[in-house]
């Protein structure tokens, strides 16, 4: 089962990805993780990528695709994979298609306003790191951690302006990919702004027949 999961920041990709890989016993592959692994292993591609990253450059599609191809040849990918954060461009999507057939692309669709509430409401304890959300899971006392009484604070990049920018960046890269996978008739939209369990049920209904 070869699946790509897409969604704006705050759409809940991380949560859903965990459940998907558990149910279908496929690896969750993120480009960042495998890039780091390849650099650590000191492979040819890893060394090339490291040089580029150290100079502050962007790792080319060619290198990314090479690393992905290596990763997919590993044993745990025999039953398939779940990509998250890849492909990022149409060129990457076309490159991937040359060595692996994607069966389903799932887009977790969320209203921008829901995402903004989810992200701008996020708070974390400055001491123990416990997560809160002022709209959904607030601490008992405003700004104070339930467990240790330390201050509950907001991350600098969780403010509304930054979030709107991140959303724009996401849609700029997402739109051409959506068009590409729509042409390939494997693009599916699933609402990600309702109850988590409903979203998951819909995802499973879509993926179960691919088993
Ligand atoms: Zn705390």
Using one digit for the tens of pLDDT, what is the confidence trace for 7-40? 999 999 999 999 999 999 999 999 888 989 999 9
- Domain CATH code at residue 178: 3.40.50.300
**pLDDT of the residue at 171:** 95
**pLDDT of the residue at 134:** 94
Q: Which residues surround ligand 1, an ion (CB under 5 A)?
A: 125, 127-128, 130, 145, 147-148, 150
CA 151 / ligand 1 centre spacing (Å)? 8
Flag whether 129 is in a domain. no
- The number of domains in the chain is 1
CA 164 / ligand 1 centre spacing (Å)? 29
CA 156 / ligand 1 centre spacing (Å)? 18
Residue 172 bridge partners (DSSP): none
Active site residue 127: no
**pLDDT of the residue at 32:** 86
pTM reported for the whole predicted model: 0.89
Low-confidence ranges of the chain (pLDDT < 50): none
Question: Could you tell me the residue range of the domain that residue 103 belongs to?
Answer: 2-26+79-111+172-210
**pLDDT of the residue at 157:** 86
């Amino acid at each position: 089962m070869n699946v790509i999961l897409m969604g704006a920041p705050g759409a809940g990709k991380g949560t859903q990805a965990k459940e998907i890989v558990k149910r279908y016993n496929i690896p969750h592959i993120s480009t960042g993780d495998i890039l780091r692994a390849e650099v650590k292993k000191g492979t040819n591609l890893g060394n090339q990528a490291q040089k580029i990253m150290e100079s502050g450059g962007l790792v080319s599609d060619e290198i990314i695709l090479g690393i992905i191809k290596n990763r997919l040849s590993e044993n745990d990918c025999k039953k398939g994979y779940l990509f998250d954060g890849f492909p990022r461009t149409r060129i990457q999507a076309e490159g991937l298609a040359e060595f692996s057939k994607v069966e389903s692309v799932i887009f977790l669709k969320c209203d921008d306003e829901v995402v903004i509430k989810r992200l701008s409401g996020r708070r974390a304890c400055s001491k123990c790191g416990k997560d809160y959300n002022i709209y959904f899971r607030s601490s008992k006392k405003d700004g104070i951690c339930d467990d240790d009484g330390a201050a509950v604070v907001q991350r600098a990049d969780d403010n509304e302006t930054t979030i709107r920018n991140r959303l724009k960046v996401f849609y700029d890269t997402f739109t051409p990919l959506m068009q590409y996978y729509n042409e390939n008739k494997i693009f599916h939209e699933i609402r990600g702004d309702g109850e988590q369990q409903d979203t998951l049920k819909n995802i499973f209904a879509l993926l179960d027949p691919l088993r």
